[in-house]
C-alpha cells in the first residue's frame, strides 16, 4: 500500500494528512497546539485512535520519540545516534528488529524488519512543508509505519530547533 504523509501548511498542532494513491484521505494525524513533546495521534477515518507519538521531554545528546498503541502501551522507542552525521535511527522495544536503512532526509530510505525491506520512504522535495511517500510491502501495519515516519520527523524537527 502506498500512502502520502503531508504535513499541513496551516495547522496549530502540527497535523498531517495521509492520502492514498488516489489522493483520498485514509488516516488522520492530529497534533496538540501547545505540546512541548510534540504529541501527535494517528486515527483511522472513523476517528479511532491507532497510535500516539511523542518526543522525549528533554534531550541531551540522543533524541528520542515514543510510539504508543491505542491502549497507551509504549510499543517502541525511536532514537537517533549521538554525534551521528549519517542520519541513522534505531527502534527499540518493538517486537521485531526494525531499522531505517539510509538517511531519513535523503531522497529514499528503507524500513527493514528483521533484515527484510518492508517499506520505502521517499521524501517529496518540492513541498512547502515536509511531505513523504510511504510504500509498504505486503500486508504491513501501515498505521505503525506512519507513526514511525512521524516519530522520526518529530526528532528531526526537534534536533533542528536545538541546532539552528
Alpha-carbon distances of 13 from 96, 108, 130, 156, 161, rounded to whole Å:
31, 27, 15, 17, 17
- Cα separation of 129 and 126, whole Å? 9
Which of 107, 106, 55 minimizes the C-alpha distance to 85?
Answer: 106
- pLDDT at position 38 is 72
What are the structural domains, with CATH classification, of the chain?
Answer: 2-163 (2.40.160.200)
3-state secondary structure 22-36: CCCEEEEEEECCCCC
Residue 155 in this model has a pLDDT that exceeds 90: no
For 15-46, the pLDDT digits (tens) are: 788 999 999 999 999 887 665 557 899 999 99
Structure confidence by residue, pLDDT tens digits, 92-125: 888 888 888 766 556 788 898 888 999 999 887 6
Amino acid at each position: 500500500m502506498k500512502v502520502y504523509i503531508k504535513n499541513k501548511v496551516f495547522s496549530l498542532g502540527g497535523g498531517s494528512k495521509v492520502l492514498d494513491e488516489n489522493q483520498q484521505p485514509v488516516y488522520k494525524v492530529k497534533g496538540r497546539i501547545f505540546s512541548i513533546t510534540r504529541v501527535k495521534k494517528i486515527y483511522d477515518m472513523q476517528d479511532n485512535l491507532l497510535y500516539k507519538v511523542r518526543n522525549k521531554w528533554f534531550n541531551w545528546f540522543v533524541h528520542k520519540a515514543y510510539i504508543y498503541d491505542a491502549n497507551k502501551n509504549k510499543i517502541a522507542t525511536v532514537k537517533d545516534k549521538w554525534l551521528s552525521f549519517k542520519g541513522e535511527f534505531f527502534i527499540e522495544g518493538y517486537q521485531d528488529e526494525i531499522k531505517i536503512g539510509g538517511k531519513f532526509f535523503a531522497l529514499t530510505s528503507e524500513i527493514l524488519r528483521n533484515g527484510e525491506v518492508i517499506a520505502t520512504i521517499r521524501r517529496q522535495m518540492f513541498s512547502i512543508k515536509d511531505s513523504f511517500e510511504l510504500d509498504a510491502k505486503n500486508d504491513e501495519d501501515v498505521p505503525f509505519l506512519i507513526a514511525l515516519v512521524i516519530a522520526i520527523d518529530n526528532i528531526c524537527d526537534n534536533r533542528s530547533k536545538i541546532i539552528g
